Amino acid sequence: MFPGEISRLKASKASVEGEAPSGFAGGGGDASPFKAKNLLRRLLVVEPGEGSGLVIDGKRAVNLSSNNYLGLSNHHRIKDASIRAIERYGAGAGASRLISGHTNIIKELEERIARFKSTEAALVFGSGYLANIGIIPSIVGDGDVIIADRLNHASIFEGCRISRARLLIYRHKDMTQLEEILNRYSSYKRKLVITDGLFSMDGDIAPLNDIVSLAKRYEAMVMVDDAHATGVLGKSGRGTMEHLGIKDGVDIQMGTLSKAIGCYGGFVAGDNALIDYLINRARSFIFTTGLPPAIAAAAIAAFDIIEEMPEIRERLWENRGYYFKAVTGLGLDTGMSESQIIPIMIGDEKRGLEFSERLLELGVFAPVIRPPTVPKGKTRIRTSIMATHTKEEIDTGVDALKRAGRELGIIS
């Protein structure tokens, strides 16, 4: 629970259910409380293996947990673009964007993103996280209201917290509750509805059509975080809006270059006025060094590939269909998934940990996702499919899930 910032609606119908993901419990430099609760996290050294595979502790594993959904991170055109940019610009931007870190290649990337997202302009941030914590407090503040889906990403909630606006949370995709809140807070001058486009831990898609029409009715702004949808959803990979046939009504389109784009960095796309405002206002844009030029060059190449080679995305959906059928055929609970993100719902943290460890022994990397990343009791193995997975890799993944699932009594 965020200190003091979440206003809980008390009335029964519109009451805010559950809590947004909060900070880590424990503290004082002692990690043992995490261990006792099966919540201890540790870093694994992961080296690239063959194809989409990995090498962990010297052992090869199929990677069932990458956000590099299209496999573009390793695409030769992207690597070449990046190497050429390093040779021209060097490794780092050397300064913040408003000093001397705004090179032609960054300008080109921003124009490329705007074209891809069909907006007037775009602005690149150091990461998606930095984008969210910069955009939200620039748009709303004390005296305003933010209405957010409960399963939005942590960086959105962090942006909300920093903004000091009143934060109201609606049950996941519950449009009745969203409307109740909008109605109740209609007297607020500035209202911002924020949702993930494609939910990062559940793989389901926001009802953005309904959100846009409700926001229009109640004169609220809409922001969508399309981190996991960009490059993936929609006929041309433009994201959730394209997927749902939405042409306008979303004021702020946020995204990241670190998932299907295969690079690093975040962005916002919108009209000129929004972008000009953020350049002058977003602290996580102003007070930090610009994106390395080589990353910008790589991302431009990635957008080109996404547009020129729809077959990569088609392959992703084909792989997703093949895997999803096999996994559901085993009787595993895939929650609400309707995309390349396919959680295997477990519930209990200890069982989740054991499941994930056993998968690794069986040559499959798919880490457990526990609170506070997901709500309590919703521990899962978050699996995700890539366009570059071979059928053999997917079969290895499914076989391991079957074996580990049976051993741990998750599959009867």
Ligand X SMILES: Cc1ncc(COP(=O)(O)O)c(C=O)c1O
Residues that bind ligand X (CB under 6 A): 127-129, 132, 153, 155, 196, 200, 225, 227-228, 256, 258, 266
**Is residue 228 flagged as an active site residue?**
yes
Catalytic residue among 82, 200, 284, 337: 200
**Is residue 76 flagged as an active site residue?**
no
Look up residue 72 and give its DSSP letter. Answer: G
Closest CA to 279 of 93, 99, 156, 94: 99
Select the residue whose beta carbon is closest to ligand X and give its number: 128
| CA gap 407, 412 in Å, rounded | 9
Sequence-distant (6+) residues with CB within 8 A of 187 are none
Catalytic residue among 228, 243, 378, 389: 228
Least spacing, CB of residue 129 vs ligand X, in Å: 4
Least spacing, CB of residue 327 vs ligand X, in Å: 22
CB nearer ligand X, residue 155 or residue 319: 155
**Is residue 259 flagged as an active site residue?**
yes
- Residue 80, both tokens: 């070449």
* CA distances (Å), origin 215, targets 223, 302, 330: 10, 33, 41
Catalytic residue among 191, 259, 389, 402: 259
Least spacing, CB of residue 122 vs ligand X, in Å: 15
CB nearer ligand X, residue 239 or residue 405: 239
Least spacing, CB of residue 256 vs ligand X, in Å: 3
Least spacing, CB of residue 128 vs ligand X, in Å: 2
CB nearer ligand X, residue 82 or residue 127: 127
Task: Say which amino acid occupies 237.
Answer: G
For 365-385, give one letter per residue: b (16+ CB within 10 A) or e: bbbbbbbebbbeebbbbbbbb
CB nearer ligand X, residue 33 or residue 372: 372
Beta carbons of 266 and 255 less than 8 angstroms apart: yes
| CA gap 50, 48 in Å, rounded | 7
CB nearer ligand X, residue 296 or residue 362: 296
Which strand (E) or helix (H) includes residue 114? helix 104-117
Q: Which residues are catalytic?
A: 200, 228, 259
